[in-house]
Structure 1
Amino acid sequence: MGEFITITPESARELIEKEPEITILDIRPNADFKREHIPGAVNLDYDGHQFQSKVEKLDKNQPYIIYCKSGVRGGYFMEKMRESGFVGAYNILGGFVAWKISKLPLTSEE
């Protein structure tokens, strides 16, 4: 670990299967998360302003897979995690949209 990289949805799925303890962070708005998300993901609605307070609640000693809707905010969030001293994070390339297009597993709370 110790990496901060953007990986394809397929690579993310392989990583989730290989490392079941990895935390998957969905940083989209809660309504989007409830509608559909990657199985096992935790919602941490990210609007840019509350990053610091939200990140302080996370365990910096474990790796994360992060995704937003299209991958852009996820990349920004990953950089912030690196700056904040996290051990590692992976941003899904193309975010949730790419995961869905790749026909990878989804779940919902509705």
Structure 2
Amino acid sequence: MGKFITISPESALDLMEKEPEIAILDIRPEEDFIKEHIPGAVNLDYDGHHFQSKVENLDKTRPYIIYCKSGVRGGYFMAKMLESGFVGAYNILGGFVAWKISKLPLTSD
């Protein structure tokens, strides 16, 4: 894949459906994740402790879709993934807020 780009929420949903092996990372705080998140997402709190070690434990050979609340931290995180040698990542434009406004699927714990 080798792409590191920001895509629309609709494009992200399309990618999730076409590539079931893609991992979805929610980098918002855990309490936000528990309330509501994109189905299939795994929480990796960007502001949490041991964040760098969590990133290093991710499989760098898998592609990822990442999102934060508004898309800003997601872009920063995507740049860190590129620097760390990941094969590819997509940041959702507008983050979780845009996903929700677009009325795309949501779930809660």
- When the two structures are superposed, what TM-score results if normalisation uses the length of structure 2? 0.97
* Distance in 2, Cα, partners of 1:23 & 1:2: 15
Residue 53 of structure 1: CA displacement? Answer: 0.9
Alignment match, 2:83: 83
Alignment match, 2:2: 2
Deviations 1:91-110 (A, max 9, x none): 0000000000000000001x
Aligned pairs for 1:33-48 (under 5 A) are: 33-47=33-47
Q: Secondary structure at the match of 1:104?
A: coil
* Identical positions, percent: 84
- Does the 8 Å contact 2:25/2:67 carry over to 1? yes
- When the two structures are superposed, what TM-score results if normalisation uses the length of structure 1? 0.96
Partner letter of residue 96 of structure 1? F
Q: Secondary structure at the match of 1:54?
A: helix
Partner letter of residue 94 of structure 1? G
Residue 50 of structure 1: CA displacement? Answer: 3.8
1:74 correspondence with 2:91 = no
Count of aligned positions: 109
Q: Which runs of 5+ in 1 are unaligned?
A: none
Q: Which runs of 5+ in 2 are unaligned?
A: none
Q: Secondary structure at the match of 1:65?
A: strand
* Distance in 1, Cα, partners of 2:49 & 2:63: 23
| Moved segments of 4+, more than 3 Å | 48-51
